[in-house]
Structure 1
């Protein structure tokens, strides 16, 4: 058979992401949770380094959300499917997710675990999105994030991984992306006028 099961499932998800902006169809195809992270060797998959990074802090602690940013180093992405793994285990998802941008992304349930993965919920070109991951109770394993990132139907990368993050009770709390400083438009105009005036002095 020309395609492996993992390849077929990957192509199915990619087609779904491109045609249906509602995200990965986990409820109808739970196999995606197990197999979509597997590397594939079909020509339809990109073999070049992914133009995306999963940026994480170096630690986490119980009850405190850890920040993970999915960033395009060039271009954009239309689709995303991401979960947390521990070691080489590709059959379990750990913890729960919440998106900074709840209008564009949603959580889905893998392995009957609530909110254990994240995917897009609308069609848009994304470049830099923030998500929050909370560890399970009584959990202290080293984890990393794995993702399938889709630019177009025929241009996608699988097994995009972050660096490891480790458990630490002294892990500092990170600020929310939603709390980024936003100044009123009128104040920005006033500051620009002041800056221009100062340059004339």
Structure 2
């Protein structure tokens, strides 16, 4: 198994952009969000459980989950959020570990938005946090997802705090600047992780 670096951060903090930059450097990526989307597309048992819990209205058509509606329900109800997390988390964990086990690069980036919330720190050799100013985080997320600032705030409040993430992070990427500045940080970190992976 490769040396595992877990990348975490709040919504709109740049995890996907950072992961894509690492991928261009030849790093294998295991993305929990991608795995979650795949489960919601193909896992019939999960879809049946969601149907029984939320009803037919949660689907657009033909067992296609209405993801914006599901997200709205999750971040408007702690009970719904816990139920969905308890349903998906074990499967996401299982599939993530299976993909990590087959990583072929010297080190592997494991993108885990809910690393702190699900207490997954022990499964990584190192933890990388992408940090961003709150106002910029809200602005970027609202623009990207076409939702209101109020809705973004709800999501942020439901996630781990910035301080709780900082407290467990080994490395922090400052994502308040340009893409060039971000890419330089990624290149430097890649060199560090290649060095660390030699001593695994």
Query: TM-score scaled by structure 2?
Result: 0.28
Q: If the length of structure 1 is used for normalisation, what is the TM-score?
A: 0.28
* Greater RCO (CA < 8 Å, at least 6 residues apart): 2
